[in-house]
Structure formats: structure tokens, C-alpha cells
Amino acid sequence: MSQSTRSEARLKARSQLVKRQEELLAREARIRTVVLEAAAALLKRDRAVFEAETRLGQALARLTSTERLPVSEAADLCGLSAREVRRLIRGNGHDRTVRESGAFPDPLRTGGVER
């Protein structure tokens, strides 16, 4: 193999490697964008669930304290189990599934997802 043929082969291989690296970087950027969109959607869903469960817990607390309904009756009227009613009244439903209110970062603004 001549010197020029080897040089051409090296240049071609280097060019292919650079092109492959650029494709990988572009793919990684696309993946990162979609992951951030997914994380934002999950946080939005978690906020909505948190807020809905908070309102539900407050309403159930009014039913059982102000209106003096037994937990079992409030549960029946709302289509919930008594256990779920007690959990919602206590507000413990948020401890393991959702961060405290106000602690929801916006990954599209911060540029990343908290772990």
C-alpha cells in the first residue's frame, strides 16, 4: 500500500468517526430533550394528584368532623374505602409518592431532572 493510499484511508476513517460522533451527540441531545419533557409531564401530574388529594382530604375531614359522619359512611358516599379516607384525612398519601408542595422543580427551566 502506498503512502498516499494509507493517508487517504486514515482521512476517510477519521471522517467517518467524526461523523459518527456527531450523530451520537445529536441523538443524545434529542433523547435528553424528550426525557426532560417526560419529567415535566410527570411533575405536572404529581402536582395535580397532590392538589386533588389535598382538597379531597380537606372535604373528607369536614364531612367527618363538622358534619360528624362516621369514616365508613363518608367512604361509602364518596366511593372510597375507609382506609383511603383515613389516609386522605391524615394527609399521609403524599409522603412516599410526591414531594412536598412547592418542592416541584421545573426541569424545563432548570435544565435538568433532580434525583
Would you say 78 and 106 are in contact if contact means Cβ atoms under 8 Å apart?
no
CB atoms within 10 A of CB 15: 10
Residue 69 falls inside a structural domain: yes
Q: Report how many helices (DSSP H) and strands (DSSP E) the chain contains, helices first.
A: 4, 0
**pLDDT > 70 fraction of the chain, expressed in percent and rounded:** 78
Instruction: Give me the pLDDT at residue 2, please.
Output: 81
Residue 22 falls inside a structural domain: yes
Count of the separate structural domains present in the chain:
1
Look up the domain containing 59 and give its range. 3-95
Residue 23 falls inside a structural domain: yes
Q: Please give the average per-residue pLDDT across 110-114, as a whole number.
A: 56
Cα separation, 11 vs 20, whole angstroms: 14
Tell me the per-residue pLDDT of 13-30, one tens digit each, with 9 for 90 and over: 999 999 999 999 999 999
- pTM, rounded to two decimals: 0.62
Instruction: Give me the pLDDT at residue 87, please.
Output: 96
Instruction: Give me the pLDDT at residue 1, please.
Output: 66
Tell me the per-residue pLDDT of 52-63, one tens digit each, with 9 for 90 and over: 999 999 999 999
Instruction: Give me the pLDDT at residue 97, please.
Output: 42
